[in-house]
Amino acid sequence: MNRIQDKSFDTISKRSLHGLRFVYSDFVPTELNSVSEQNQKRLHETMELLVEKLYENPALLNLPENKDEAYQTWEVNNMKPELDIVYQTIFKSLFMFYKFLYMSALHGKIDSGCLSVGNAELKANKAAFKPLYKTLLNEIGIEISSDKSGVSICTNEGVLQSLKLLAEKVPVNINKWTPFVLSNFACCSFMDDFSYLIQRTDSDNNLDGLLFTLQNEAIDKGYKQSIKCDMTATYIGFTISFKNGIGGFQIGYNPRKYKPFQFGTANGIGEKAMLEDFDNLDEDLKEHFINICRPCSSCRNCVKGGKNEMFTTRVSYNGKEYALCPCFPNHSWDTMDRRLIDLLFKYHDAQNIYGVDWKK
């Protein structure tokens, strides 16, 4: 699969589907199971082919044909409501298709080369078969039929056994908002392992191994690594995190953006306290705050109708006076370099000093 980051796409649907192509897993079989590694690999290749077929022809899932358009880095979804609707349509269609396949595999029974699941079972899990799924699945050698009682999915029995195994391996009940992690199923990740995303992100951004340097240094300093891939009705993407107490590094991918990769820090906890102690900060951190905090515009959003005092902090730096707003700082960049990594390590250390009382 070609995962080189395209600069442009024919349609919004292809831009969105490229996100699914990018996160699709490397093959790592689960061990000590009755389903052979060969059959697991065969399913992995089949599910990858499914993603490629969709990318080549989004009409197979009746995805919108709108010409390519995305968001600038600084734009949020509600700034372009009509575009937001297009993206939501695409992600919901993908989510509902994979949810149908997941629920069918999880609750269905295999017999004589077919996996059968009742409509009542699908309905109870808020999933449903749609006729257009038949054409899509036929493209990858899977036959599907339905009647009033349920749905039958027919293909190689080893592939069906692997599909059921994959569904059973999907993490569930992560929190009250996540009854199941559909990305694991769509990406055919038997082992819930998305570590390959570090290498792909490094390569696509021409970082020459810098992300591996960050990973090694962060772990040596006691940071905890987390790689999370998401597939919801409104989003497909991932987050790579290296957390150190209060804050940490955060690297993400959002297919809605013209520049989908973002590199930065997880939060701004402790920043107001740092600004109030500006004169005692490291020189690099002083420059950092001058760069990430915008000047106060007197919008008075921070005072909440008079309930709070203004958050603006006045500081002096290199002979100039600044009135800095700590409410809307920049915490992400389109790329990363060695200097930014060193600076953010200092910043995270400062968070653990200045942000210790944030929950009190």
| 10-residue stretch averages of pLDDT, the chain, 360 residues long | 61 97 95 88 98 97 97 92 97 98 97 95 96 96 95 96 96 86 96 96 96 98 96 95 95 95 94 92 94 79 62 88 84 95 96 76
* Residues in CB range of 325: below 8 A, 6 or more apart: 293, 294, 295, 296, 297, 302, 311, 312
Q: Which residue has the tokens 């690999």?
A: 41
Give the Cβ contact number of residue 298 at 10 Å: 10
Continuous H helices in the chain = 12-23, 37-56, 81-107, 119-124, 132-138, 157-169, 182-186, 196-204, 210-220, 271-276, 283-292, 338-354
Confirm if 118 and 110 have CB atoms less than 8 A apart.
Answer: no
Number of H helices, E strands in the chain: 12, 13
pLDDT on residue 326: 77
Instruction: Classify each residue of 59-97 as buried b or exposed e, where b means 16 or more C-beta atoms within 10 Å of its C-beta.
Output: ebbebbebeebbbeeeeeeeebeebbebbebbbebbbbb
d(CA 16, CA 42): 25
pTM reported for the whole predicted model: 0.91
- Report the alpha-carbon distance of residue 83 to residue 79 in Å, rounded: 9
Handedness of CA 96, 102, 107, 108 (dihedral sign): positive
**Residue recorded with tokens 């939060």:** 267
Q: Check residue 360 and give its pLDDT.
A: 46
C-beta of residue 24 within 8 angstroms of C-beta of residue 187: yes
pLDDT at 249 (0 to 100): 98
Q: Which helix (H) or strand (E) holds 230?
A: strand 224-231
Whole-number pLDDT of residue 3:
47
With beta carbons less than 8 A apart as the criterion, state whether 170 and 182 touch: yes
In this prediction, residue 313 carries a pLDDT of 86
CB 131, CB 122: distance < 8 Å: no
* pLDDT at site 6: 46
Give the count of beta carbons closer than 10 Å to the beta carbon of residue 284. 12
For residue 274, give the nearest of 357, 359, 354 by alpha carbon: 354
Q: Quickly list DSSP for 56-93.
A: H-GGGGT---PBP--B-TT--GGGSHHHHHHHHHHHHH
Report the phi/psi class of residue 28: left, alpha or beta, with left for phi > 0 and alpha for psi in -120 to 50: beta
